[in-house]
Chain A
């Protein structure tokens, strides 16, 4: 998973450098960049990184997919590559075909449930669906008398209410009113698995975004002068940036550790829970602190639409909420370690 010798990682970086420059996107008056960017990602197989070759995918390592997303985070990625990767993973794990195009997934929290009825149609409401209105199809995890099914549905067949994230990206409510799936099969994937993968995905993106905020904040502090010298020369600013570096490092480390755990097949056991819950908590905390420092260093210019900083901080505020925020995961992790007993706390941590 080292960038220098990995073709998938290098390709991702090149495409995003060419077609996903945040300043260019920020300056553009239309959304023409979107289809060009998506086509390039799709043609190079990056949207199907987690689809095995026999299903017409790339069959990359799970770790490679997370690395794609860390790099995507560095570009404040404004298209549903994370959601499409996750949808492809869910379909492949279930043995279903993966369609082309942008995909999203439902449900994405612990509250919503979609039911599959006796006529094999879907009923229920799923909130906060990322890029809901932008995708043609949604992958839905549904319950039917104690069993779990995975369904692919046409979004047009659903009722959609538009809501926006901090970054003005869709987080729509989708209502399934006896929707007939395009494909449907019983699956071994559980809602817990889906939420863990979703959380780990957002951790990688948050790590990348924080790395980039650190870079532009360091750069800006060297260029901006106040009181007769660059603000990078003031110790108060230096210490803020040092703390930002710490938050970025913690987020990237926690995210890559969780990704590595999923990659090695332990993502869905107790070890995986510790890793993924910790990563979502710590990366979410880092998102809050890191965004605040990024803004503080940039001063007023960072609080404008013309500057790109907001493209990153708004996504951090949004991503930390997705698939369960810090508090959701922290309560679950706290209950888990408490139930195991105090004597098991250190052995559990030390085993990682």
Chain B
């Protein structure tokens, strides 16, 4: 077998670059109006319902979805541009981003008509926040070991157990969660899991407990279900067959620009603090960082172009996330070295240090969230025919 991993040199069409300027103008206006500050926001404050509503009104949520569900029937490449401009501006997108990227598409694909008609237009309007219920206290990377139990009852299911590391569950309206509806089988350890839509605001018997991260911020939660009743209508897709639905979505989740731009503020601050005439040592380091970012971006655009063409570039998506998260994780450490000789009195030094120090503390999570480095390399190895 010959391994052929393709990345076509796809360019963003003019319509995308025009849209990019529209998004930049919008973001500058919002900054000028005091909605957010890109330096402050790099260090948190990324949840802002009012901002999400404005983005929705612009037509930049659910961009590729059908118009009848509030979508805009635009391309993945147009969505790509919006995502990266929001990301590099540290815009407060948390209120809608998860729903836009993955929850909405799952609902579009798997939910029944009433739910689609109810929820999708609200997501697209920026009025509906989602979180993801995958990890559990006893299993994170190993998704198919999920144990939170759904037991069939009259007209629905009773849920018992805990999900954890659930980002922004305390602010979310809904969760899409993976629950165990049957034991796995000898032949297929992935069997027996089902996706459910959970209405966090209206279902009873759900407790959301904060888990504070090492920076002292409340981002994660533990979500506890105690005989929580979920009506049959909220089952998403095939009972016991969630594993079949998982794979094609992963390329979307893993190849986006948010997978290498999370600490990009450190790069921009570094360029600022080094000034217009850095010494050779600093220039070399800056050049290597830019080369890495440019290459990642070209790979990521390529994957999104392949998705737009209806392909399933699963390995390519995992490669982009592996390379991308390593790059964004190493960025703060490299920037720290490169700026070593910038004197403390430099007028940009304090601002650089603040964002650098934040980036250094964020770095460890980047290769854990959304699929660890080890899991990704396992997927790549499978694609290479090694498993």
A, B in one complex: yes
CB-CB under 8 A from B20, the residues of chain A are 350
Stretch from B65-73, B160-168, B287-295 at the A interface: B287-295
Q: Does A257 contact B (CB under 8 A)?
A: yes
A329-352 interface bits toward B, Cβ cutoff 8 Å, 1 = contact, 0 = none: 111111111110110011001111
Q: Does A318 contact B (CB under 8 A)?
A: no
CB-CB under 8 A from A87, the residues of chain B are none
Residue ID in chain A nearest B85 by CB atoms: A350
Residue ID in chain B nearest A232 by CB atoms: B386
B1-43 interface bits toward A, Cβ cutoff 8 Å, 1 = contact, 0 = none: 0110101110100000100100000000000000000000000
Q: Does B356 contact A (CB under 8 A)?
A: no
Give the residue of B7, B276, B378, B385 whose beta carbon is less than 8 angstroms from that of A253: B7
Interface size class of B (residues with CB under 8 A): 35 or more
Give complex CA distance A214, B5 in Å. Answer: 10
Contact (A349, B381) CB under 8 Å given A250-B299, A254-B298, A338-B277: no
Asked if B271 and A238 make an inter-chain contact with CB atoms under 8 angstroms apart, the answer reads no
A-B contact pairs, 20 of them (CB 8 A): A214-B384, A215-B3, A232-B386, A239-B374, A242-B378, A245-B5, A246-B319, A249-B5, A249-B7, A250-B295, A256-B8, A274-B290, A274-B294, A282-B291, A326-B288, A329-B287, A334-B285, A341-B276, A342-B269, A351-B17
Q: Which residues of A contact B (CB under 8 A)?
A: 211, 214-215, 218, 221-222, 232-233, 235, 237-239, 241-243, 245-246, 248-250, 252-254, 256-257, 259-260, 274-275, 277-279, 281-282, 285, 326-327, 329-339, 341-342, 345-346, 349-352
CB-CB under 8 A from A330, the residues of chain B are 283-288, 291
Interface residues of B in 244-275 (CB under 8 A from A): 264, 267-269, 271-272, 274-275
Q: Does B339 contact A (CB under 8 A)?
A: no
CB-CB under 8 A from B127, the residues of chain A are none
Extra contacts besides A238-B387, A259-B9, A329-B287 (4): CB < 8 Å: A241-B386, A253-B299, A257-B298, A278-B290
CB-CB under 8 A from B276, the residues of chain A are 338-339, 341
Contact (A253, B284) CB under 8 Å given A338-B276, A345-B268: no
Chain B's nearest CB lies how many Å from the CB of A62? 13
Residue ID in chain B nearest A261 by CB atoms: B9
Residue ID in chain A nearest B387 by CB atoms: A238
Asked if A248 and B5 make an inter-chain contact with CB atoms under 8 angstroms apart, the answer reads yes
Chain B interface SS verdict (over half): helix
Q: Which 3 A-B pairs have the closest CB atoms?
A: A334-B283, A330-B287, A334-B287
Contact (A282, B88) CB under 8 Å given A241-B386, A335-B278, A338-B275: no
Q: Does B314 contact A (CB under 8 A)?
A: no
Asked if B283 and A338 make an inter-chain contact with CB atoms under 8 angstroms apart, the answer reads yes
Q: Does B282 contact A (CB under 8 A)?
A: yes
Chain A's nearest CB lies how many Å from the CB of B263? 14
Q: Does B377 contact A (CB under 8 A)?
A: yes
Contact (A349, B319) CB under 8 Å given A337-B271, A342-B271: no
CB-CB under 8 A from A332, the residues of chain B are 283, 287
Give complex CA distance A329, B9 in Å. Answer: 22
Q: Which residues of B contact A (CB under 8 A)?
A: 2-3, 5, 7-9, 11, 17, 20, 84-85, 88, 264, 267-269, 271-272, 274-278, 280, 282-288, 290-299, 302, 315-316, 319, 322-323, 374, 376-378, 380-381, 383-387
CB-CB under 8 A from A336, the residues of chain B are 287
Residue ID in chain A nearest B269 by CB atoms: A342
Residue ID in chain A nearest B384 by CB atoms: A218
Contact (A331, B287) CB under 8 Å given A345-B271, A350-B84: yes
Asked if B297 and A352 make an inter-chain contact with CB atoms under 8 angstroms apart, the answer reads yes
Asked if A257 and B9 make an inter-chain contact with CB atoms under 8 angstroms apart, the answer reads yes
Give complex CA distance A196, B284 in Å. Answer: 18
Give the residue of A222, A232, A238 whose beta carbon is less than 8 angstroms from that of B377: A238
Give the residue of B7, B267, B277, B316 whose beta carbon is less than 8 angstroms from that of A345: B267
